[in-house]
Every structure is written in structure tokens, then in C-alpha cells.
Structure 1
Amino acid sequence: MTPQPPAAVDLNSDLGEGFGAWRLGDDEAMLGLVTSANVACGFHAGDPRTLLATCETAARRGVAVGAQVSYRDLAGFGRRFIDYDPDDLVADLLYQLAALDGLARTSGGRVRYVKPHGALYNAVVTHEVQARAVVEAVRRYDPGLPVLGLAGSALLRVAGAAGLRTVAEAFADRAYTPEGGLVPRGREGAVLHDPAVVAERVVRMVTTGEVAAADGTLLPVLVDSVCVHGDTPGAVDMARAVRAALERAGVRIAAFAGAE
């Protein structure tokens, strides 16, 4: 059965990923286009000054801030799997949540939701132990925080069973496997770059509830939020094209978690 399109869709992007003198993406421009910002928490990217500035700009723009928690892997940008002891992972996630929430609160906002990053995001699609660790950290910090993740993932299933609100995410600029996962970044065609192609694809996902996998297989997809990666080349043009296409299609764009 094809999922029904949502009444409104959220646009999110991974932001705050610069570090010191190194800038990654155009956060200022992206915060003018998206409705939710997945802000790094310092473990895969983001120094305190960058994270504070990102939270301040998000608060001014009315963009909801989410904690993009990750493995402790600054050198690998959080894109390498780590076989954590579950208690260590829970503690690391709580540390990140509390740090970003403190910065967000001093900026006039607060953390509104949680989304894993990189290898952790991919792991908790099927890794039950790490999915439970993420859910435990959210439950212990604030059980009112929604969890943003891939539709059909172990993370959303475990989070839902624990009574947490779950938000299903689709990716504008990533190719899907026939099984509904994401094509690994190291493979050709894993990341999409043409704004027009991406925008058309997103409208199809949102309005028909389906997406074409890398091999052409049509997959049902539940879309509460659409991610446009902030570090993808041409990310701003892509986000602008996606937003304009959705609006032309009559889709209402709104954050799933209020920014106020």
C-alpha cells in the first residue's frame, strides 16, 4: 500500500559542521531555506563558536534546531562505524545533547529533536543495540524530543515502542538501494547533484509516496521531512530548487517541531 502524502513537509539540513578556520557549506544561506537545522554537536564536526553562531542564526530565522548526535570521530567526520559499548554510546550522546541544548538555550531557543549523523545514522537502520542506545539517551534527556530517522529503520521502530515521537526522513540528494537503504557514499551515483532532477524527485516522493531506487525499482517512501545535505556541492541551489518545486506543487512547508 502506498503511503499517503503528509499534510505538510519539513525541510532539514546538516549544519554547524565547520571547525575553526575551516568552513563547510553555507549555513547562512541554508538557514534561509530550510525549516529544521540538524546541528552538529562537536563529536564529528563543529567547534563551540560555530555551533553557537548556528543556533543564534536559527533562532533569529525561526528554524527549529535538532541535535545531530554522532560517534566520537572528529577525524573521520563521523562516517566510520564504531562498535561502542552501549553504555559508552549512551553517555556520549547525552553529553552531546546537553552541550548543544545549552548553546541553543543561550541563543533564545532549545533543541527540538534528535537525528543521528553519518555512520551512526546508517548503523541504527539495522543495528538494534545502537538503536536502543540512541533511544535510551533521548528518553533520559527529554522524552518529549522527536527522533528523526530513516523510514522503516530499527531506530524509529525502537523509538516508537519506547513512546517517543518518530519522524520519517527522506533524502533529496542521496540514491536509494532496492531495499530502501542509502547507497554507500563511496559508490558511483550515491550522491545526486542536479538541482532540477533532485527537485522533481522530491516532489514525487512527497506527493506520490514513492521513489526510484538506483536500479529503477519503485519503492514506497514515507516522508515527514526531506534532507538536503549542507555539505553537498551546490547545496544552496539544490535546497532552493526543492523548496520552489514543492511550493509550486502546492505542498505546505513547515517544521515538524516548532522553533518557538
Structure 2
Amino acid sequence: MPDGTVEDVAGGVPGTAPPAVRVEGLWKRFGEQVAVAGIDLALPAGRFIGLVGPNGAGKTTTLSMVTGLLRPDRGRVEVVGHDVWRDPAGVKARIGVLPEGLRLFERLSGRELLAYTGRLRGLPGTEVDKRATQLLEVLDLAGAQHKLVVDYSTGMRKKIGLAAALLHNPEVLFLDEPFEGVDPVSAQTIRGVLERYTGSGATVVFSSHVMELVESLCDWVAVMAAGRIRAHGTLAEVRGGAPSLQAAFLELVGARGRDDAGESLDWLGGAR
């Protein structure tokens, strides 16, 4: 779907669920640099959604504004019908967030971190303990639950962060590069939990620049480049006639190979 229009894939048709996320005229500038340039987007509920784009496209800035971590210069964001800036408490109660620059209380153990998170969310202690035990088991962290988070590997940190984001059973889960730096075993575990979560009718929105991963996981995609949405829709709609999402993505963002690359690097790999 072309840039500049809001296509209500959900919410505009009687009898369908409203969008999980609605973004209207969203702008963010850092000095002279425009990070997000007036995007409009409606993300359908109950889907596994990929926000894809090259590095510097504005994905993290967009997710930060959608989740209330960064105030936009202009524009409006609704998550499950609640305005992010007019009703921040209502939105935060309904979302889970796993940011790219994950910061955790490193002097707590994994179980202590979940207990603390659950109580901050207002869950009863017994319910927190039950959910924490289940999440630790499913995410293969039960054996490390009493280790300090400071001693966790990158994959373990991503998994305990995901557990904390899921603990209160949010309606929408936002993940920024959740598989970055994660080993294949941990990645498969995370993937299984996310697929089970969306299978229950919840919504996952995750950003990535790895097209193969998005194509294998997502059923709805938004392509972002230079602060704008270049295309959005189902995976099939965004791919169009391209052989893969990677090929469609390269065409959408205007990436072209340099024909003179071999000549300009004729020194590379030669005799030293």
C-alpha cells in the first residue's frame, strides 16, 4: 500500500476488531536530522507484524514514540484505542516492551527481577510466582533463575527481558531487534514463545533489518526508509511479484548494487 494513506485493514470494516496500533502524522526531529517524517499507519490486531528497514530508517524512534518512551514533535498514537500521551497509564498496562538497548536490574537474580516486575504491575504475589515459574521453564531459564542478571549471556538477557515483558499478559508486545546477538538455540526458544503468544490472539510488533527472519515469522509487514513508510500490508501484498521479501525490500528502499565496486576496490585481496 502506498505511502501517504492510512489503510484501515482493521477498524474500518463493521464487525472487525479495531487496529492494535494507530499512528497519525507522526514526526520526530533531532536537531537538523528528521528521524520520522509524518508517518500514518494502522497495525491490525492479532497479527505478527514486522517493522522492517535499513539501519537509520527510524524504526527504533518510531517504536519509542508508539510505546511512550519518546515524545513526538507532532502526531498522534493510539494503542488498543488508548491515546499514548493522554492515557499513558492505560497504554502501559496493555503493552509489553523489549527495547533494543535493554537495561535490567543486574544485581537481581532472574527470578527476583520477575518478582519485582510483577509487583510493579500490581499483580498478586502468588500469581507473580506462578507466572514467573512458568516463564522461566518455557524460556529455558529455570536452571539460571537464581543467578544474577549481570552474569547472564546476551541470549539469556533477551529471554529474561521477554519474560518481564510478558508477565502481565499484555495485549500488544513491542520488540526492537529481539534476535540481535542471540544464539540459534535461544532464538528458537524465543520464536516458539512469540508464536504461541500470537496464536492466542495477541499482537506482536517487532523491528528488524533481517528480511529472512521477518519473512519466516510475520504475516503483516511495514517497510520503513528515511523516516517514511514505503509500503505496508500482508506479507504477500508487500512482496508483490518479487521472489522474496528481501528483493521487494531492496526495490522499495531504492538500494542498488554498485557496478563499479569491483573496479574501485581493485586493490582489495591482491598481493601485499
User: Do both share a fold (TM > 0.5)?
Assistant: no
Of the two, which has the highest radius of gyration?
A: 2
Alignment TM-score, normalising by the size of structure 1: 0.34
* Structure in which a larger fraction of residues adopt strand: 2
Alignment TM-score, normalising by the size of structure 2: 0.33
